[in-house]
Structure 1
Amino acid sequence: MLEKKAAHKTGKSLLRHTPGGVEVENQVDRESIVRSVKETTAPKKKPAEKTTSIRISVTTRNALNSLVTLGEAETVNALLEEFITQKLESLRPDQQRTYDIINGVATKRDNV
């Protein structure tokens, strides 16, 4: 069975009882806490984009997650954006124009 350990007692009470109630040494003012919370501003997040899923192989998913875990990007989405940017920069000008047209049509369709 488990043995019950005796509580460590210092012999001195941590609270002082006075006729009016309990006396607190370091009373914290609620208003000062509320003010300090209001003064600290959280970093503004950009609005979340609508998300979707794509079909990829398990091997590709694992590779992407592994690169994120290594610290190559903050998220899989950021990593994919980096890969896409690199690929777009390597396109010929005529391919770039065709891409812009196709991507514009897809974007307009999504916004409807």
Structure 2
Amino acid sequence: MGMLEKKPAQKTGKSLLRHTPGGVEVENQVDRESIIQSVKETAAPKKKPAEKTTSIRISVTTRNALNSLVTLGEADTVNTLLDQLITQKLESLRPDQQRTYDIINGIATKRDKA
């Protein structure tokens, strides 16, 4: 029952509260209107419009690798990381491969819009 025993509060001898006849005095009073105004003035970061999402089948190893790279700070999201990797790959294509890619990607894009 040692835990249930209450110890008397230690008094420092000096009151931590100071009462004045007029009430509580605040030295650095903050005006609520100035806070509201500053919040309105700070513009929220503009988000690009959300694209339609889809799922792709990848191995657990690939998923873990992508998430690990995002955690390391290589990109903000897996989608951003994949965009970067795809861009790097496209830049390495030969011109004839680039034309073929553009045709195939254009057909897939038209199909998705229909």
Establish whether TM, by shorter chain, passes 0.5. Answer: yes
TM-score (norm 2): 0.74
Shift of 1:13: 2.1
Q: Which runs of 4+ in 1 moved over 6 A?
A: none
**C-alpha deviations, 1:37-91, integer Å up to 9, x for none?**
1122222222222222110000111111122222222221122112211221222
Gaps of at least 5 residues in structure 2 are none
SS in 2 for 1:104: helix
Note closer, same or farther for the CA distance 1:11–1:110 as it changes in structure 2 (3 Å cut): same
Superposed, 1:91-110 pairs within 5 Å as 91-110=93-112
Identify, as 1 or 2, the structure richer in strand. Answer: 1
One-letter amino acid of the structure 2 residue matched with residue 13 of structure 1 = L
Superposed, 1:1-112 pairs within 5 Å as 1=3, 4=6, 6=9, 10-14=14-18, 16=20, 18=22, 22-25=23-26, 26-112=28-114
TM-score (norm 1): 0.75
Gaps of at least 5 residues in structure 1 are none
Give the share of equivalent positions with the same residue, in percent. 75
Note closer, same or farther for the CA distance 1:13–1:110 as it changes in structure 2 (3 Å cut): same
- 1-side partners of 2:78 and 2:88: how far apart? 15
Say how many residue pairs are matched.
109
